[in-house]
Amino acid sequence: NGSGDIFLAFATGNHLPAAATEPFPVQQVPNPQMDLFFEATAEAVEESILNAMAMAETMTGFQGRTVHAIPLDALQEIAERSW
């Protein structure tokens, strides 16, 4: 759709046989190891949002609607109050 969004999806489940009649092995990653992955993902998302906000430029689009860039000093002030 031209939005420029990129995303990645993954599944943590095991492939299950459709009609298993006997026990079968499964693999798991311990939760503490997944915590680091989730933390890194959250940090990457936060960084990408801040980068997009900081690098945005004022633009006029469909039906003459103008969206103004956020001044960097205002963004920094908001960030300092929030974190």
H helices, E strands: number in the chain: 2, 2
On whether residue 6 sits in a domain, the answer given is: no
On whether residue 3 sits in a domain, the answer given is: no
For residue 25, pLDDT over 80 is answered with yes
- Report d(CA 36, CA 10) in Å as an integer: 16
Query: Domain tally for the chain?
Result: 1
Residue 72 or residue 5, greater confidence: 72
Q: Are 58 and 71 in contact (CB under 8 A)?
A: no
The model's pLDDT over 63-75, given as tens digits with 9 standing for 90+, comes to 999 999 999 999 8
The model's pLDDT over 33-62, given as tens digits with 9 standing for 90+, comes to 888 888 998 999 989 988 888 898 999 999
On whether residue 60 sits in a domain, the answer given is: yes
Predicted TM-score (pTM) of this structure: 0.55
On whether residue 46 sits in a domain, the answer given is: yes
On whether residue 42 sits in a domain, the answer given is: yes
Domain span holding position 46:
31-82
- Report d(CA 71, CA 69) in Å as an integer: 6
On whether residue 19 sits in a domain, the answer given is: no
